[in-house]
Structure 1
Amino acid sequence: MRTSEIDLPADYADLLESLKKRVSGARIQAQRTVNALLIELYWSIGKDILARQDHYGWGSGVINRLATDLRHAFPEMKGLSPRNLQYMTAMVRAWEDEPNVPQAVAQLPWGHIRTILDKASSTEERNWYAAAAVRYGWSRNVLLNMMMNRSMERTGAAPSNFTQHLAAPDSELAQQMAKDPYNFEFLGLSGEVAERDLENALTGKITDTLQELGPGFSFVGRQVHFDVDGDDYYVDLLFFHVEQLRYVVVELKTGKFQPEFAGKLNFYVALVDDVLRRDFHNETVGILICGTKNDRSVRYSLGRSRSPMAVAAYTYDKLPAAEQRALPNEGHLVAALEWVEPDSEGTDLPSTGTS
């Protein structure tokens, strides 16, 4: 009798689904455990090498020989190259005040750690990106993009009145949503653009837009319509932050910030708060994103506002199309770089963030 012809118990489907989840969870946990053990091994190797470098003055020749002997002893094991041994010592030196592997670092894949060692210039920066990568499950490409775009420096940097209208720690959480400036280079725009063009571009690349806004944002709609006793109003972009359980109204202005922009955003935040917000939602907040701003003018404008709001600028490639065409394109740069002699592996060492 074939399996498909067996008369299965009524609860079989539920049991199968439960077991599949259990097996999947166990596999994920096993992978995390193996990864943590590997990073701990790398930490111990790096610590021993670093101690001998500092005490005996080990050079690259000794490390190259050590890598060769280790790979001969463990031919099936990857990650024992001279370059990786250098990264192991760089990891220990980067967190030299820690007796053991920092908790967030131990949860990251080795490729993520190498990226952080290459791109971060301070312990604060290394810790911030390591913790964020673990918390939000960033891939290595996303992590690299966040670091190249200076995400840490921009997160929570926009002038706001959140502390005036939201109680702690709610105000601190809301502040973390507001970057300054936002980096919209992924839109591929150039020259001066109209607000509607900017809006169309952001919604046309909504995945990239959500990534730039930050973790937790969910897109609700654009030009969201509200009827106020026969008067029509349209919110440029409306988001919901799933972690903070609040609506976020985003208004776009391509020019310089003007005080009247804050009044309009204040109105929209109050409108969304009254019409869409439910009892279990936190207060709606607004973010005005404009071409340029004077921070002092922003603070005066937000000081008397009744709604929690922030004002940020945005950046993108503003070169006119004619000037862009005069620049070398990717093909030209690649052709030029092909004439450059590549560095050998022994000289391509990771940055330790120290000077």
Structure 2
Amino acid sequence: MSDNHPDSLYQRIRDILNVAQIGVSRTVNTAHVVSYWLIGREIVEQEQKGQQRAEYGESLLKDLSRRLTKDVGKGFSLSNLKYIRQFYLGFPDLLTATSISHAVRDQSLSSDQFTTLSQSQPNWQPGQLHPNLSWTHYRTLLRVENLNARAFYEIEVLKNNWSARELERQISSLLFERLAKSTDKAGLMQLATEGQIIQTPSDVFKDPVVIEFLGLPESPRLVESDLETALISNLQTFLLELGKGFAFVSRQERISLEGDHFYIDLVFYHTILKCYVLIDLKVGKLNHGDLGQLQLYVNYYDLERCAPDDNPTLGLILCSDKNDAVVKYTLGPNQQPKIFASRYQLHLPTEAELQAELHREMAQLQDRQPPNSEI
């Protein structure tokens, strides 16, 4: 019986599944991923040997789905086999050429050979097998067509130990595009090869901040207290949106100055930058008075609350709208590195919205440049 025959393909896939079941107690997730990748390879290579018409591949997958579901059980629907096929095509370098050479098609895989295949490479790179990435992670990553963005999400999953659901949310909120929208080519490549690196305060804050998880409607009747309560009720997801390093400290923290009382909406500590982060919520358009109030809070914290080894306090205003020129001229050059303003969005952004935001920022930057200067 030739290798091109569907029965040969079916038997090779059954061999892969049988061996995967033997090693499942040791490497459950990784064995799952490896077996699917190997199955995807078998399907793709069988299609390349067979007829070139699209209907050949469809009938091949239908037959495999029927037989595998009958003999093995759930998990091999036609749609899932299409994902498995796409997985191999989307991650062609998941296993190294050296490890693949152990999988000889003319022989059944041994348990030891399968275990070897299931081991991640010592010098891991995005696109290669990693034991902390499950099949659900990989299925989610397949949604990302931009290879730089996909590499970024792979790195961030491992750095932050995101669940597949958290990864799904970060992709849907266009995290990569938000971080990359105003960076240069070198910064873009750094995101794709190293993930998000936090070295300065400007590396911490996103604009816009997406808080669709609150389920709040876009309404002129929304007030700061409702927004704050919703954020606290969804604190874990809000921390995910803020990014790595944020630790919650308090809400509505009171400052008393000679009988006058002020309240800071939210206080965090950033464990990487080693500083407090004060967040003030503003429903409506930001004005210079809001910035002055936050500057008061930041100055107070620097003088009264910070320990000797803390870095200067940072402030962030979350607002529904802002004028960047007002922010610039209210704060001046000395306070700008410490106080930031970001728009919040109550819905997931689209790429078109982010592009419009980038064009708006570039236009404002050009308007502020001297006539003969280059951006």
TM band (smaller chain): 0.5 to 0.7
Aligned partners of 1:49, 1:173: CA distance in 2, in Å?
48
Partner in structure 1 of residue 31 of structure 2: 37
Q: Tell whether 2:175 aligns with 1:151.
A: yes
1:154 and 1:179 in contact (8 A); partners too: yes
2:198 and 2:204 in contact (8 A); partners too: no
Aligned partners of 1:156, 1:40: CA distance in 2, in Å?
32
Partner in structure 1 of residue 87 of structure 2: 91
2:316 is aligned, of 283, 287, 290, to 287
Question: Comparing both chains, which one has the higher relative contact order based on Cα–Cα distances under 8 Å and sequence gaps of 6 or more?
Answer: 1
Q: 1:199 to 1:31 in 2, by over 3 A?
A: farther
Which letter does structure 1 place at the counterpart of 2:135?
W
Q: Tell whether 2:223 aligns with 1:225.
A: no
State the identity %: 30
1:158 and 1:179 in contact (8 A); partners too: no
Shift of 1:297: 4.1
Corresponding residue SS for 1:59: helix
- Structure 1, unmatched stretches of 5+, are 1-29, 160-168, 318-355
CA deviations 1:199-233 (Å, max 9, x no partner) are 33333443443333234432222221223455433
Corresponding residue SS for 2:27: helix
Aligned partners of 1:301, 1:121: CA distance in 2, in Å?
41
Q: How many residue pairs were aligned?
A: 276
Aligned partners of 1:158, 1:265: CA distance in 2, in Å?
25
Aligned partners of 1:236, 1:286: CA distance in 2, in Å?
11
Q: 1:261 to 1:170 in 2, by over 3 A?
A: farther
Q: Tell whether 2:141 aligns with 1:116.
A: yes
Aligned partners of 1:280, 1:41: CA distance in 2, in Å?
51
Q: Tell whether 2:344 aligns with 1:314.
A: yes
2:94 and 2:129 in contact (8 A); partners too: no
CA deviations 1:131-160 (Å, max 9, x no partner) are 32333232333322332222333348699x
2:274 and 2:311 in contact (8 A); partners too: yes
CA RMSD of aligned residues (A): 3.4
Aligned partners of 1:47, 1:269: CA distance in 2, in Å?
57
Q: 1:79 to 1:175 in 2, by over 3 A?
A: farther
Shift of 1:308: 1.8
Aligned partners of 2:156, 2:91: CA distance in 1, in Å?
17
Aligned partners of 1:125, 1:107: CA distance in 2, in Å?
19
Aligned partners of 1:272, 1:302: CA distance in 2, in Å?
17
- Structure 2, unmatched stretches of 5+, are 1-23, 97-125, 184-195, 348-375
2:62 is aligned, of 51, 61, 64, to 64
Partner in structure 1 of residue 40 of structure 2: 46
CA deviations 1:228-283 (Å, max 9, x no partner) are 45543322211123444331111112222224433332332232233232244343
Partner in structure 2 of residue 304 of structure 1: 333
Which letter does structure 2 place at the counterpart of 1:120?
V
Shift of 1:59: 0.9
Corresponding residue SS for 2:303: helix
Shift of 1:292: 0.8
Partner in structure 2 of residue 140 of structure 1: 164
TM-score normalised to structure 2 length = 0.62
Corresponding residue SS for 1:224: strand
CA deviations 1:84-138 (Å, max 9, x no partner) are 3321221232234666483475521112221222x32322232223332333232
CA deviations 1:269-318 (Å, max 9, x no partner) are 2322332322443432211111112334434545513352321101227x
Partner in structure 1 of residue 243 of structure 2: 214
CA deviations 1:14-52 (Å, max 9, x no partner) are xxxxxxxxxxxxxxxx97833223322322322332234
Aligned partners of 1:157, 1:176: CA distance in 2, in Å?
13
1:199 and 1:236 in contact (8 A); partners too: yes
